[in-house]
Chains A and B, each alone.
Chain A
């Protein structure tokens, strides 16, 4: 690996540790630890949300998918954009108006506090922990492939740094780490896009034709059907990404860091725009990867089979475009991306344990603030250790398997309850618990019975449930049950 990769990464770590030290001096209260004192501006928050939403999967994963399947990758892009439009139009402003630190504040605002907070805390942990492990497994593999360190060392570096950022600097440090990472990611993606377009004199027609000539699918690359032929499956992908984005607790928590509801909405607008810009650039990066990497003996084991897997498409392309130095920079940015996302996930999980479970459920809102903060920090360290141990156990596992779980659960359990709690006065506690609970259980069960777990992870010949994303069943079921039980409750009373 080039020295520039190591130096870029060390520079990022040094800068973020400096930020953490600065943030630690400003973190005195619960409000500071969970919500950065509500002093983050909408521009800063927009960048931080963009950073949270664009994990390694959003950049490396979608580029790799475009490299393999072309057109069908647009379904992922749409799902993501649609989800953020929903957050912008329906969720952001109202969420900030009703909540204080976590999304459990919002879902329990009109309903019975103890059961709703317990439910929200459970779903937050069920979403955060697999997502955390998925990111750390990816980080371990990346470090192994790029920096020449062992997988366990990679996991240890990410886990250790994440614990320091969150435990010492709380939300202020986590937000600034995300902002630095978001700026680096945009810079890296822009340089890569301009580099690709420069090779074709900014002539899109030349680029598209060259990609069609290089890819084994030819012009079919720009037709639907390379990845999915079943409309139901496409709907499931779009629905999971759109509703899942609006139900991820670590992303929702960001809206509590700005001073008011209008700034929350503005930050969602900026995040949506930045996500759109990045996804737009990913299209050209994907095309560039097809042109320069297919059958390139230096990076490909033949055809579309890249060395290190399809997720390495953007990294290999950066080597072609800018040489080892630029590749080092892009690799370091990717590593920074993972580091920032795991920090965001950890703080949402720590906040739900200390604020929702300890302070609100166990102490009934009468907890000592210092003790609550100490519990947050202890939880952060415990989560760091658990995530590191599980990541070592899950070494070599398909990251997609782990990443499917949080999105499907967020869409099936969190999103219906959150939307109904904010917009429907008729929702009752029993309706919310039954709807959200069934959404959680059904989505988990169908993921286990689906192709990713049943076939790939457990090795059975055929999956019991044919779709990767169960959201198309579990989410409507959650909505219907929440509505039905609430109506029955109202009639009975």
Chain B
């Protein structure tokens, strides 16, 4: 039950992360387009975008381990 709640909380956090990205893109496009360093074309938006993809994958991998442990406990 705790894990199920945790799954919901994680989903809500991911949705909040995506919402923050969308809101920042709409209301602060200047910031999202700002280069990471002077003379660099890599913008904060692109860096955050890539980070977002990696966070989702990371969360998935981390949660996988926890859920497997819970499934083993249930089976016992």
- Interface of A with B (CB < 8 Å)? 71, 74-75, 77-79, 81-82, 84-86, 88-90, 93, 204-205, 208-209, 211-212, 219-220, 222-225, 229-231, 234-235, 238, 242, 261-262, 265-266, 269, 272-273, 276, 279-280, 283
Q: Find out whether the CB atom of B49 lies under 8 angstroms from the CB atom of A262.
A: no
Q: How many A-B residue pairs have CB under 8 A?
A: 128
B1-28 interface (Cβ within 8 A of A): 7-8, 10-11, 14-15, 18-19, 21-23, 25-27
List A contacts of B7 (CB < 8 A). Answer: 89-90
Residue of B whose beta carbon sits closest to that of A283 = B50
Instruction: Give me the 5 closest cross-chain CB pairs, A-B, nearest first.
Output: A223-B33, A208-B41, A222-B43, A231-B26, A224-B25
Query: How far is the CB of B18 from the nearest CB of chain A, in Å?
Result: 5
Taking CB atoms, residues of chain B closer than 8 Å to A84 are 56
Residues of the A chain whose Cβ atoms lie less than 8 Å from the Cβ of B49: 71, 74, 77-78
Distance in Å: Cβ of B40 to nearest Cβ of chain A: 6
> Which residues of the partner chain A approach B33 to less than 8 Å between Cβ atoms?
71, 219-220, 222-224
- Fill in one digit per residue for B34-52: 1 if any A CB lies within 8 Å of its CB, else 0: 0100001111011001101
Of B10, B22, B45, the most chain A CB neighbours within 10 A belong to B22
Contacts of A93 in B (CB 8 A): 67
Q: Report B's interface with A, CB cutoff 8 A.
A: 7-8, 10-11, 14-15, 18-19, 21-23, 25-27, 29-30, 32-33, 35, 40-43, 45-46, 49-50, 52-54, 56-57, 59-61, 63-64, 67-68, 71
Chain B minimum-CB-distance residue to A81 = B56
Q: A85 to B55, alpha carbons, bound, how many Å?
A: 10
Known contacts A82-B14, A85-B59, A224-B32, A208 near B40 by CB under 8 Å: yes
21 A-B pairs within 8 Å (CB atoms) are namely A71-B45, A71-B46, A75-B22, A78-B53, A82-B18, A84-B56, A85-B11, A85-B56, A88-B63, A93-B67, A219-B33, A220-B33, A223-B29, A223-B32, A224-B33, A224-B45, A265-B64, A273-B60, A273-B61, A276-B53, A283-B46
How far is B11's CA from A224's CA once the two chains are assembled, in angstroms? 25
Bound together, the chains give a CA A209 to CA B40 distance in angstroms of 7
A208-B41, A283-B50 known; A90 vs B60 contact (CB < 8 Å): no
**Is B26 within 8 A of A234, CB to CB?**
yes
- Is the CB–CB distance between B46 and A222 below 8 Å? yes
| Docked CA distance A208–B33 (Å) | 13
B52 near A81: Cβ-Cβ < 8 Å: yes
- Which residue of chain A has its CB nearest to the CB of B52? A78
Question: CB within 8 A of A78: which of B18, B63, B68?
Answer: B18
Given known pairs A78-B21, A224-B26, the reply for A89 and B61 (CB within 8 Å) is no
Which residues of chain A have C-beta atoms less than 8 A from B19's C-beta? 235
Give the docked Cα–Cα distance between A12 and B70 (Å): 41
Q: Summarize A's interface: helix, strand, loop or mixed.
A: helix
Closest to A209 in B: B41
User: Would you call A85 and B41 a contact (CB within 8 A)?
Assistant: no
Q: How far is A260 from B21 in the complex, measured between Cα atoms in Å?
A: 36
Which residue in B15, B25, B42 is a CB contact (below 8 Å) of A82? B15
Contact A77:B22 (CB < 8 A) given known A208-B41, A219-B33, A265-B64: no
Contacts of A280 in B (CB 8 A): 50, 53
Given A82-B15, A273-B60, 15 more pairs with CB closer than 8 A = A71-B43, A77-B49, A81-B52, A82-B14, A84-B56, A85-B10, A86-B14, A89-B7, A212-B41, A220-B33, A242-B18, A262-B71, A266-B64, A272-B56, A280-B53
In Å, the complex CA distance between A238 and B56 comes to: 15
Q: Which of A225, A238, A279 has a CB less than 8 Å from the CB of B29?
A: A225
**How far apart are the CA atoms of A220 and B34 in the complex, in Å?**
10
Residues on B with C-beta less than 8 A from A272 are 56-57, 60
Q: Whole-angstrom distance between the alpha carbons of A276 and B51 in the complex?
A: 11
- Report the minimum CB–CB distance from A214 to chain B (whole Å): 11
Smallest Cβ distance from A475 to chain B, in angstroms?
A: 13
Task: Report whether B54 and A276 are in contact in the complex, using a CB–CB cutoff of 8 Å.
Answer: yes
Smallest Cβ distance from B72 to chain A, in angstroms? 9
B6 to chain A, nearest CB (A): 9
Docked pose: A85 CA to B8 CA in angstroms:
11
CB contacts (< 8 Å) of A231 on chain B: these are: 22-23, 25-27
Docked pose: A71 CA to B42 CA in angstroms: 11
**Separation in Å of the B27 CB from the closest CB of chain A?**
8
Least CB separation from A222: chain B residue: B43
**Complex formed: what's the CA distance from A77 to B45 in Å?**
13
CA distance A220 to B33 in the complex (A): 7
Shortest Cβ distance from residue A260 to the other chain B in the assembled complex, whole angstroms: 9
| Chain A nearest Cβ from B14, distance in angstroms | 5
Q: Do residues B60 and A208 form an inter-chain contact, with CB atoms below 8 A? A: no
**CA of A94 to CA of B18 in the docked complex: distance in angstroms?**
25
